[in-house]
């Protein structure tokens, strides 16, 4: 078969309580589609035609959580700046804080939870996000005490 086109770009936010001194991260549990239901992720979604990555992220966070955010630094991934999630998806991720609204699971999620770093390993993240949590803990200096024991790299990739 012919090889597929370029991977789809997903944008997402590591929403924290404070950009300068983060203590908690907002994790979102997927409700849909069925194959992802129950897994936790960074809220966000696919960039649509004609949108910049940041525009798409603001739109997704408004649609999914009903919030406006201020973006902080991007957490660049190891593959040309992006995080490879699967053969079909790559992701860019920014730190963010909520500036308006209360995060509410409106469409794709059925639960949101503010997690301190030692709670991150306690929920089942999407496989591709584990590498990101690892890096996020290092970058923001969060003490992810049990990270090493539970955050695993999936076999054959993410
Ligand atoms: N939003 C998000 N998607 C992730 C993460 N980790 C991960 O593997 N993914 C995958 C799940 C999906 O296959 C894909 C993102 O698709 P999505 O369903 O969130 O995108 P979308 O909101 O634009 O949805 P749709 O319009 O296509 O229904 O990336 C993550 O942390 N956040």
List the beta bridge partners of residue 29.
40, 111
Q: Which atom of ligand 1 is nearest to the CA of 85?
A: 8
pLDDT at position 146 is: 42
CB-ligand 1 contact for 85 (6 Å cutoff): yes
Q: How many helices (H) and strands (E) does the chain have?
A: 3, 8
Is 128 touching ligand 1 by the criterion CB < 6 Å?
Answer: yes
Burial 119-147 (b: 16+ CB within 10 A, else e): bbbeeebbbbbbbbbbebbeebebebeeb
Residues 136 and 33: their CA atoms lie apart, in Å, by: 26
**What CATH number labels 8-150?**
3.90.79.10
Mean local confidence (pLDDT), 109-130: 96
Q: Can you give the residue ranges of every domain in the chain?
A: 8-150
Examine the pLDDT at 157 and tell me if it is beyond 60.
Answer: no
User: What is the predicted ipTM?
Assistant: 0.93
Does residue 12's CB lie within 6 angstroms of at least one atom of ligand 1?
A: yes
CA of 155 to the centre of ligand 1 (A): 21
Segment 117-142 mean pLDDT: 91
């Amino acid at each position: 078969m012919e090889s597929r086109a370029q991977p789809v770009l997903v944008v997402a936010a590591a929403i924290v309580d404070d950009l300068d001194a983060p203590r908690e991260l907002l994790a979102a549990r997927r409700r849909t589609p069925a194959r992802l239901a129950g897994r936790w992720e960074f809220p966000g979604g696919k960039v649509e035609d004609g949108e910049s990555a940041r525009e798409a992220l603001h739109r997704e966070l408004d649609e999914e959580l009903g919030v406006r955010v201020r973006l902080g630094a991007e957490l660049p991934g190891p593959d040309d700046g992006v995080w490879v999630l699967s053969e079909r998806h790559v992701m860019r991720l920014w730190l963010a804080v909520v500036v308006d609204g209360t995060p509410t699971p409106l469409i794709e999620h059925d639960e949101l939870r503010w997690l301190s770093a030692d709670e991150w390993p306690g929920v089942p993240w999407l496989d591709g996000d584990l590498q990101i949590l690892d890096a996020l803990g290092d970058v923001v200096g969060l003490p992810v005490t049990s990270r090493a024991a539970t955050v695993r790299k999936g076999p054959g990739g993410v």
